[in-house]
Amino acid sequence: MRKSSIVLISAALAALLASPFIVSLLSPPSPPPRPELPRDVKECVRPAAQMRAEHMVLLHQWRDDVVRRGDRREVMIGGVSYAKSLTGSCMKCHRHKEKFCDRCHGALSSAPKCWDCHVYRKEVRP
């Protein structure tokens, strides 16, 4: 009697632990996040594939240039001059954080703390 109850309880426990994996295996794959790209601008400071994979590397390089090295020289890419600035350059094209940053970062539960300090306000966007 006692033995069978132990087997039952452990089976139930195993089922409970495995349930998230089973559910996700059975349900259709969730669609990949689709960040909304700016319509009026086609060129970014780097090729799209590189930006997708390494945008934080670039942001950190810009941050270190400006804050730690005091190097605020603008970067010239494809004949356009960009300030090394998250709010001053990136967000000028990618105007809506909710429709761009948050889509992927939300889907991946990755929450960098940029906006704790840097100011994002819809009404100040041009």
Q: Which residues bind another protein (CB under 8 A)?
A: 63, 67-68, 70, 72, 87-88, 113, 116-119, 121, 124
Residue (2 or 121) nearer to another protein, CB: 121
Query: Minimum CB separation from another protein for residue 83, in Å?
Result: 10
Residue (24 or 61) nearer to another protein, CB: 61
Report the candidate in 16, 14, 75, 85 with the shortest Cα–Cα distance to residue 45.
75
Q: Which helix (H) or strand (E) holds 77?
A: strand 75-77
Any idea which residue has 């400006």 for tokens? 66
Query: Minimum CB separation from another protein for residue 111, in Å?
Result: 14
Q: How far is CA 72 from the centre of its chain?
A: 25
Any idea which residue has 């799209």 for tokens? 48
Residue (42 or 118) nearer to another protein, CB: 118
Six token digits for residue 36: 């909304």
Query: Minimum CB separation from another protein for residue 13, in Å?
Result: 41
Q: How far is CA 18 from the centre of its chain?
A: 29
Residue (2 or 123) nearer to another protein, CB: 123
What Rg, from alpha-carbon coordinates, does the chain have?
Answer: 23
Query: Minimum CB separation from another protein for residue 126, in Å?
Result: 11
